[in-house]
Amino acid sequence: MTEKPWGGRFSEATDKQVEAFSASIDVDARLYRWDIEGSMAHCRMLARQGIIQKKEADAIVAGLAAIQKEIDAGTFVFDPALEDVHMNIEQALFDRIGPAARKLHTARSRNDQVALDVRLFLRDRTLSVVAGLVALRQRIADFAGAHIDVIMPGYTHLQRAQPVLFAHHLMAYYEMFFRDTQRFAEGLKRINVLPLGSAALAGTPYPIDRAYTAELLGFDAVSANSMDAVSDRDFAIEFTASAAICMMHFSRLAEELVLWSSSEFGFVELSDAVSTGSSIMPQKKNPDVPELVRGKTGRVFGDLMGLLTLMKSLPLCYNRDMQEDKHLLFDAADTLSACLPVCTALFDNMKVNNEAMAQAAARGYLNATDMADYLVGKGVAFRDAHACVGKAVAAAIAKGRELHELTLKELKTFSAAVEADLFDVLAPEKVIERRQAFGGTAKKTVRAAIAAARRQIKKERKTYGL
């Protein structure tokens, strides 16, 4: 029978069903690198403070390093009876170096230990996500720059609304993913707080140096309240919330790629490398990658709701319910991390059909607003101009023509203010180029936005060492 580290108070062995039910090693084993990193720092601090001897600390650190190599190599055998990654490593350390291993847990609890492990994991994962988002935004900006001359319909209610540059449409996603980058980077401040030293809930009577431990582990701050430190999972919920918002942005992009690659739109073609076929219909080429991204978004939303529900109404401090946080957190982190490079790769595997986009932008009365603005420029009140153009559109629909395909004589029946110069106003290129206000779709403005994005990315690469 495996001896429990907490077994001193108990006179009966744990029921095998309970043992299996309460074990978390199948999930938290992946935290081993961060658990060992935290243990090494804690050990060095204990030795520095004279709480354990230096020779004991040296043996502990060497033993932990050897155990990490074993786990890295895949030769380490985790014992479910030991419940979790912390106890497995501690027992392995005892088997390797003897009684000195039992001193490692001085001045800490599994409560502050697991909080530390998750924070270290999330710090690394957040930096990885930030790097992925920077790479994605770079690809979007480059793709937009390479297609700066492509005109497409802009939509509201999925109905053609006004002509825009395809590059302008893409840069809208750049802005979404920029906000995502900011959210993760800002969340890093709240992740990078040391909980170790809080012990089970009340702190420790040992003369530890938490600031030194924080320095060893690269934390920017130390938790201010021991009860909060062991029971807080806000940082994990915040990460998952940021992941959910980011996945929502991915789902919007994915949906548009699914639509645009359909025969009905024909705006883009995804390469064979990111598409699949049908087991029964030989002609099919399916946009499975964006569809899967769209579907995986729901998983991350569920992970967020699960974490919020898990933490709802939990009294202070640690409760065993919190063991379930890692299933949800890991799934959200893994799903987002899988989607990031795949979505970035879509831009390397997408051909843009300039002609199809331009033809769509030229049909559907997308220049109606500009005709109204033209009339306003001639002194007509906007509401009156709006009504005039609405009637003109209705007449054009009845005739099966676009506004710019009506004759000057026909257009004058709706407003005497119409002159021959209106036809120049209604050209899609002119509609676009008039929108030069900051944030608009004019080519000059979009070029400036792409240039600003590239400067932004360059600055971030320097900041995050990418």
- List residues with catalytic annotation: 157, 278
Rounded to an integer, what distance in angstroms lies between the CA atom of residue 179 and that of residue 347? 20
* Furthest CA-CA distance within the chain: 101
Rounded distance, CA 374 to CA 377, Å? 5
Please say whether the beta carbons of 257 and 328 come within 8 A: no
Tell me the C-alpha distance between 412 and 400, whole Å. 18
Cβ neighbors of 176 (< 8 A, separation 6 or more) are 249, 252
* Structural element, H or E, at residue 162: strand 159-165
d(Cα 117, Cα 165) in Å, to the nearest integer?
A: 47
Write phi, then psi, for 154 (nearest 5 degrees).
Answer: -90, 150
Residue whose structure tokens are 């920029």? 178
Q: Residue 163 burial (CB < 10 Å; 0-12/13-18/19+)?
A: buried
Rounded Cα–Cα distance for residues 357 and 445 (Å): 20
Say whether the peptide bond before residue 317 is cis (omega within 30 degrees of 0).
yes
Where does residue 1 rank: exposed (0-12), middle (13-18), buried (19+ CB within 10 A)?
Answer: exposed
Q: Bridge-partner residues for 165, per DSSP?
A: 151
Residue type, 298: G
Among candidates 185, 190, 187, which has minimal Cα distance to 224? 190
C-alpha–C-alpha distance, residues 67 and 124, integer Å: 21
Give how far the C-alpha of residue 145 lies from the chain's centroid of Cα atoms, to the nearest Å: 24
Alpha-carbon gap, residue 127 to 188, rounded angstroms: 8
Residue environment code for 250-274, b if the CB has 16+ CB neighbours within 10 A, otherwise e:
bbebbebbbbbbeeebebbbbeeeb
